[in-house]
Amino acid sequence: MLQITDVKKNFGPVEVLRGVSFGLDAGECVALVGDNGAGKSTLMKIITGVYTASSGEVTLADRSITGTAPGEIRELGIEMIYQSLELASQQDVTANIFLGREPTRKIMGFQTGVIDFKSARAQAEEMIEQLGARLPSVDIQVGNLSGGQQQSVAIARALTFSPKVVIMDEPTAALAVREIQHVLDLIKELKSRGIAVILISHRLTDVFEVADRIVALRQGVVIADERTEDTTMQDVVAHIVGAH
C-alpha cells in the first residue's frame, strides 16, 4: 500500500535521513520507533508532502507521490493525526469531523452551498457508532471531552477522507490507562477495515499490542525492521539506544 524507497533528506550540510526504506500493506500496522532526532518527524513530513525528499521515492498503491503537494496527498488517501490533534475545542464533535468539508443541501439536484446540519449530525453519529467510540453526544464541545474521546474525534475526522493510510503520532501520550486501551482498540478497528496504519510511539507496550511490524530508526537509518512476534521489548530498546 505504501512504500518508502531509499529516502534521503538534507537540510544544508545536515543529513537527517540517510536512505530510509520500508513498506506496509493494507490492514497492517507498522510501528515507527526511535529516539528524538532519529528522523521520524522528517520522514512523516516527506510522506505527507510537507517536505520534499532530497532523493528516493514514496509510492502509494504503486503510484509515485514524491514531490506531490500535501492537499493532493490527502486526497489520494494519506491522513496524519498529529499529537496535538488540531481540533477546534470550541466547536462540537460534528463540526470538527466535517470542518471544511461540511455536507451541503441539494435543491432540484443542485448543490446550494448551504450546510446540511441535519445530515452532518447523522453522519457524525453513524461514524462514531461504527468506530465504537464512547462519546456522550456529537453535540458536545470537543474541549469538554477527555483526551481519549478527542482522539476518537480526530480518527473519525480522518475517516471522512476514506484514507488508505493513517499516520498516528503518539496517540496514547498523556492518556489514562483505560483511555489508552480505547485508542488501541480504535487502531485495531482501522486495521480491520483494511486501512494501513503507521504508529509513532514511545510506549512499547502499546506497540507490541497493535503493531504487526516494528521499524526502528536511528540517526536517519532503519536499523531494524522486524515482525512484532519475532522480537522482544528488550531488543527494540537496544535498537533505539544503539546497544545492538
The pTM assigned to this predicted structure is: 0.85
C-alpha pair distances (Å), 33 with each of 15, 23, 183:
19, 15, 18
What's the CATH code of the domain at 232?
Answer: 3.40.50.300
Number of domains in the chain: 2
CA angle 213, 43, 200 (to 5 degrees): 45
> Is 82 inside any structural domain?
no
- The domain of 208 spans 1-77+163-243
> Is 37 inside any structural domain?
yes
Q: What is the pLDDT along the chain (244 residues), one digit of tens a residue?
A: 999 999 999 999 999 999 999 999 999 999 999 988 888 999 999 999 999 999 999 999 989 999 899 989 988 999 988 878 788 889 999 989 887 777 667 776 666 667 778 888 888 888 888 777 778 889 999 999 888 888 888 888 888 878 899 999 888 887 788 888 888 988 898 899 999 999 999 999 999 999 999 999 999 899 999 999 999 999 999 998 876 5
What is the per-residue pLDDT for 110? 66
What is the per-residue pLDDT for 164? 94
Of 152, 185, 183, 186, which Cα lies nearest the Cα of 170?
A: 183
Query: What are the pLDDT digits (tens) for 108-133?
Result: 666 666 777 888 888 888 888 877 77
Given a contact cutoff of 8 angstroms between Cβ atoms, the answer to whether 168 and 151 are in contact is no
What is the per-residue pLDDT for 243? 63
Residue 16 cell numbers, joined: 537527517
Which of 161, 177, 200 marks a domain boundary?
161
Which of 161, 185, 210 marks a domain boundary?
161
Residues 60 and 172 in one domain: yes
